[in-house]
Amino acid sequence: MKSLGVEVGDKVELLELFRNLGYEDDEIFEDVTINHPLTRISFDYGIVKYGEDCYGMIVCVKDVCDENVEKLVGMCKLVGARYGVLTDFNEICVVRVEGFKHEFVDEIPQSYALKMELGLLDVCAIAIDYDEFEKVDDVDFVVENSNVVYSDVENEEAIIFSPNGKLLDWLRRKGIRFKVLDEERLRKIVSKYFLNLNEQI
């Protein structure tokens, strides 16, 4: 069992933690009970509901111990949750569940990352400022897992078009900060990119 070593204090701070990770209030469901064909399931929070009785992540406020981790993993499998969070407010344990396997992970996924894993969100482009991009130790990996990498000199950012989930997860694990571009910013960058291409021809 692996703890993040983070204290949240109480439910208010726990909810604030999820909001800071990009989850909206209407994506956080409290005191969830599901009458599954195999058993009755109850957990404190369901995060990102993506189908009837299906949640992307579930949260249980209980003692952090091996027995409760096993119960958490079992509930994740029954409700199709990709992540499970177990906390007693002094410790936080996070597991990622895929099929019959599970593993302990170092952080709670941000909203966009979870939605991408669930197939609910496509990320068109991300921006990484030059200082952050210096932390990238394998540029080939970035190129292989995206369509185009463009240097926006004016804003001092590397723009990565169509990054796949593997790349986004790799950046997160490396601690490299990036931002997902909104439609307006993306349109401006695409226009500038093609303008530069035309000038080179």
Mean pLDDT within 154-179: 86
Decide which of 111 and 112 is more confident.
111
Check whether 41 has a pLDDT greater than 50: yes
Overall average pLDDT of the 163-190 stretch: 81
Check pLDDT > 50 for residue 201. no
Using a pLDDT cut of 90, give the percent of the chain over it. 50
Of the options 3.40.50.300, 1.10.287.110, 3.90.1570.30, 3.30.450.40, the CATH number for the domain spanning 11-117: 3.90.1570.30
Q: Assess whether pLDDT exceeds 80 at residue 119.
A: no
Write down the pTM of the prediction. Answer: 0.65
Per-residue pLDDT, averaged over 113-125, amounts to: 80
Average pLDDT over residues 84-108: 91
- 187 vs 26: CA distance, rounded Å: 29
Most confident of 52-66, 105-119, 168-182: 52-66
Strands (E), 6-164: 28-35, 40-51, 54-61, 83-87, 92-98, 101-104, 125-129, 148-152, 157-161
